[in-house]
Chain A
Amino acid sequence: MAGRFPSGPRSKLSQLRQSQTYAARPLSTREARRFVADFLTEQQLSAYIPRATLSVSELAANAVLHTARPFTVSVQNGATGVRIEVVDSAPHLKPVRVPTHGTAADLTWLSETGRGLLIVSSLANRWGVVMAQNVKTVWCEFDSAEPATPSEPTVEDGRPTEPRGDNVYRLHLIGLPVRAAIASGLDVDEAIRDVQAEGAHGASPQLAELLDLVDRTASLRLAGRHAAFHASSLDEVQFDLDIETSEEEMAATAKLNRALRARGRAGPSDEVVRFREWIAEETRRQREGKPPEPYPGDRATVSSPLEWLWDQAQAGYAAFSPDGALLHANDLLREWMGGDPSQDFVDDVLQRVAPEGEVADVKIPLPRHDGTTTTALLSAIVERDDAGAIVAVHAVVRPPAAQDTDQLIRALQQTLIPPAPPVVPGLDVAALYHPAQGDVGGDFYDVFEVAEGDWCAVLGDVSGKGIEAAIVTSTARHAVRSCALRERVPSGLMRRLNEALLEKGSSRFCTVALLRVQNTNGAWVATLTSAGHPFPLLVRHGTATRLGRAGSLLGMFADVNFHDVSIRLAAGDALVLYTDGVTEARDGTGAFYGEERMYEAIASAGSSARAIVDAVLASVLAFQEGPADDIALVVIRRPSL
């Protein structure tokens, strides 16, 4: 059950975090609310429940409505409050309805999403969106159990609630574009979050100054944000903002924006830059006594928030009509290709997507701006109208640079498993590690001898993916071996492993199943311990049953509990350790592979350890469609007499 969420600096001892993945169906919003409410009740944080459940419901509903893919909800009891994240695989999204340019569908999308986000932005102290290569994370944080701004007066009339020094003046901003305003707000939010995360690790004087600027400009930001979301919830694409501010506040805002920009982030989009520059210019004009002027630009360019999201993504994105006319290309793709995608490229995509209406991560040649051609990964899908006619083709191109990391990923994967297949005299052992395609993950296993006739098998799953997770995974695998030198009892070994992981200070946690098999006078005794991991299975006479007792997650808490369960292995008995990549594999409808199918695969497999491993893998791969997780399996069997 190790969740897949982006890492961030956090102090792990004072916090607890849980994740749960849901299918993209309306009922999931209800389940996600229950999950968050149960967690908060258990953590004795019930006072957060109304705000937190309403917020997670909104974010989950957006994920269900707009991606049609499984999504993961995480809730965290942090040092300063509660944080909720909803993560979906946006760049592979199956658009239920993707806006193009200024259509009625855009407005429905914007008003429904806007209404939901207006609610979240009103309830949470902070919130934001992070687009990564494969996932979109929408997060929100609640500082105290009291509502942040129950009905902030600034929403209604733009009048700030606190006095602002001597140089107070009013600004009348006319016809501000909703999309650019929201984009600008999210960009600042994200930068502030980075700063706050650093601040949590001991504030330097520069950080303290930045955080002070964040505080001093908060009510101005809030006023703009609320007005923008309020407008979007009323189907508006533009809005007027009548705001009272001061020289100090405007200066602090400008200083904050400069400081955030100087911190080397990817930076705002052209649209946001234009928006901010216009506000600065308009402010200067009005301060000189000139009458307000409306925001320039035609209305058609101010809708379509989804395109804006794509523009933030670290992936190339283009949309074109079925006859190959370009509708949109994001900045990153234009940068790679040195301008609009070439007709050859568009034709290539159209040809590939034609047979199935969708392709996922296929390799295609990408003509570069310098005349060379590189290989990129393409995912594309056709969008149809209600009558089934193709209205647009959406193409997502993963960065060519990702190719370079493939080698590093493969090298890292080699450190997650033993270099040679494990051999235990007197036992039949088979193991398998099947990494998720194009990524390096958190699964690992090992089988090693601690003394003569005394063996240890370990299998685990570190939260998250990518290179950082793989490094923690590799550390965990090697830590098991060094801990086993001093402690052979599984529950004690697990305790030492937990200490070792806590010392490493990573923000990732880990689930592990540990198995010790000892040969005493020809009898084999197996002792099992689980640390937050799916229970190992005992296969006896072709029937699989779970074995073990629940234990704590590793790498999160100093105070942990583990339980040993011992059995004597009869001839023909097999023990199966597996990671949740098996049971949580999904088919095209989002349904889980689950334990039952695994039991069936085991029951119909041949009796050898290798036959069991192969049967489970084949059954999962036949079931699974779409994005896959790592799979690891270890089977230890006492041969029949």
Chain B
Amino acid sequence: MDSPLDVRVQTLNGRHAELALKGELDASTFDVLRERLNEVIDKGATDVVMDLADLSFLDSSGLRGLIEGVQRGAQLTLRNLQPSVKLVFDIVEIPGITVKS
């Protein structure tokens, strides 16, 4: 069975970090994201770009992982959203999270 969520740190350069997410982000996997996000924030990243090209699902429980990153002071930019993930951001807006289509 494929891993439910895989988070890879692509680059970490001072305040700038790039993460690539693969799999599904929900109640069962948001811990994985939280851990990785905390890691890069602890190392000083405040501007985090996330590539969601391989993320096939996201729900409001998964959003929690993103929101906690914002609450710790990071600005998040999401890019390459699949339509099923974009659906969520069409409905919910979170201050501190920017969605690039």
Contacts and interface: CB of A to CB of B under 8 A. Distances in A.
Interface in B51-101: 57, 59-61, 63-64, 83-84, 87-88, 90-92
Q: Which among A27, A54, A233 has the highest number of chain B CB atoms within 10 Å?
A: A54
Interface in A20-72: 25-27, 29-30, 33, 50-51, 53-54, 57-58, 61, 64-65
Interface residues of A, number: 26
Interface stretch (A114-122, A128-136, A607-615): A114-122
A123 B63 contact: no
A119 B60 CA distance: 8
A150 interface: yes
Given A29-B61, A54-B59, A118-B92, A61 B87 contact: no
Contacts, number: 67
A251 B64 CA distance: 41
Given A61-B26, A118-B92, A30 B60 contact: no
B41 to A, nearest CB: 21
Interface string B4-25: 1000000000000000000010
A29 B92 contact: no
Given A50-B87, A65-B27, A112 B92 contact: no
A25 B92 CA distance: 25
Contacts of B59: 29, 54, 57-58, 61, 116, 119
B48 to A, nearest CB: 21
A233 B59 CA distance: 13
Contacts of B57: 33, 53-54, 57
Contact of A115 (B27, B60, B83, B87): B60
Contact of B88 (A30, A54, A64): A54
A26 B61 CA distance: 10
A284 B71 CA distance: 43
Contacts of B4: 30
A29 B64 CA distance: 15
Interface in A224-282: 233
Contacts of A150: 90
Q: Which among A64, A112, A119, A123 has the highest number of chain B CB atoms within 10 Å?
A: A119
Given A29-B26, A119-B91, A151-B90, A58 B83 contact: no
A228 to B, nearest CB: 14
A219 B64 CA distance: 30
A123 B26 CA distance: 18
Contact of B92 (A33, A51, A119): A119
B28 A118 contact: no
A30 B83 contact: no
A374 to B, nearest CB: 42
B69 to A, nearest CB: 16
Contacts of A151: 90-91
Contacts of B84: 50, 53-54
A61 B91 contact: no
Interface of B: 4, 24, 26-28, 57, 59-61, 63-64, 83-84, 87-88, 90-92
Shortest 10 CB-CB contacts between residues of A and residues of B: A26-B28, A26-B27, A57-B59, A115-B60, A116-B60, A50-B84, A122-B91, A27-B28, A61-B61, A61-B27
10 contacts: A26-B61, A30-B4, A30-B26, A50-B84, A57-B26, A58-B60, A61-B60, A61-B61, A116-B60, A119-B60
